[in-house]
Amino acid sequence: MAAKTQRVEGAIALVAQNRRAGFDYELDDKYEAGIALGGSEVKMLRAGKADLSDAWVEIRDHEAWLRGLSIPVLEHSPFSHEPKRTRKLLLHEREIEDLARSVDRDGMTIVATKLYFKGRIAKIEIALARGKKKGDKRETLKQKSAEKEARAAMSRGRRS
């Protein structure tokens, strides 16, 4: 979870990020979608409270639905929302068709990677993803540690 988001007109303010998605999946094409939200949900997102770790997208009846996104309930509010309810994604019909085709044909899944405000509008970045095997995950860890060691060696070289 991120700290309270900043309000800057036209700028992007990150609310939540799913770092685990890059580790568990090979991410392919990314799409930006709007989300149909209620007032108390937007208020909680502006406070920087959301959890994307289990969020994924389901295509049903030519519509995209976000499942597993957890937005905590607004305390002391008589008209609050359900924390893990299914939320509608706002995408163009062509984008929904492309996503549905990739899921059906290629056996891919659609995961949520980032939740942010673009200006005053809440947006979510979703990505087509293919699950990694255990060996692929190990390879990813080896690459990351090698890059980290290389950066450390470069910074040591600059100090001397």
How does pLDDT run across 80-99, given as a tens digit for each residue?
778 889 999 999 999 999 99
3-state secondary structure of 50: coil
How does pLDDT run across 4-30, given as a tens digit for each residue?
555 545 578 899 999 888 888 889 999
- What is the mean pLDDT of the segment spanning 116-125? 93
- How far are the Cα atoms of 9, 142, 156 from residue 153, in angstroms, in the given order? 40, 16, 5
pLDDT of residue 136: 74
pLDDT of residue 17: 93
Tokens of 142: 């080896």
Comparing CA positions, the residue from 48, 152, 58, 72 lying closest to residue 112 is 58
12-132 under CATH 3.40.1400.10, yes or no: no
How does pLDDT run across 47-62, given as a tens digit for each residue?
888 999 999 999 999 9
pLDDT of residue 1: 45
Tokens of 155: 């910074």
33, 90 Cβ separation under 8 angstroms: yes
pLDDT of residue 82: 82
**Which of 56-70, 115-129, 137-151 bottoms out in mean pLDDT, i.e. has the lowest?**
137-151
pLDDT of residue 92: 96
- What is the mean pLDDT of the segment spanning 89-111? 93
pLDDT of residue 137: 75
- How far are the Cα atoms of 82, 142, 143, 154, 159 from residue 149, in angstroms, in the given order? 45, 11, 10, 9, 16
pLDDT of residue 4: 55
pLDDT of residue 10: 59
Cα(104)–Cα(107) distance, integer angstroms: 6
Q: Tell me the pLDDT of the chain averaged across its residues.
A: 87
